Amino acid sequence: MLREHGSIVGALEHGTGARRKELGSMKIVINTCFGGFGLSKEAVTRMADRGCPEAIQHLANVKMWNADEGGTLWHDLSIIPRDDRDLVDAVKHLGVQADGNYARLRIVEIPDDVKFYIADYDGVEHIAEVHRTWN
Q: Which residue has the higher pLDDT, 28 or 4?
A: 28
Give whole-number Cα distances, 27 to 14, 60, 110, 119, in Å: 11, 27, 7, 16
Q: To the nearest whole number, what is the mean pLDDT of the chain?
A: 81
What does the pLDDT look like over 72-112, one tens digit per residue?
A: 566 778 889 999 999 999 999 999 999 998 899 999 999 99
Q: What SS3 class is residue 78?
A: coil
Sign for the pseudo-dihedral over CA of 77, 81, 85, 87: positive
Q: Which residue has the higher pLDDT, 23 or 61?
A: 61
What does the pLDDT look like over 25-37, one tens digit per residue?
A: 999 999 999 999 9
| Confidence (pLDDT) at 11 | 40
Separation of alpha carbons 36 and 15, rounded Å:
20
Separation of alpha carbons 86 and 92, rounded Å:
10
Separation of alpha carbons 52 and 38, rounded Å:
16
| Confidence (pLDDT) at 98 | 95
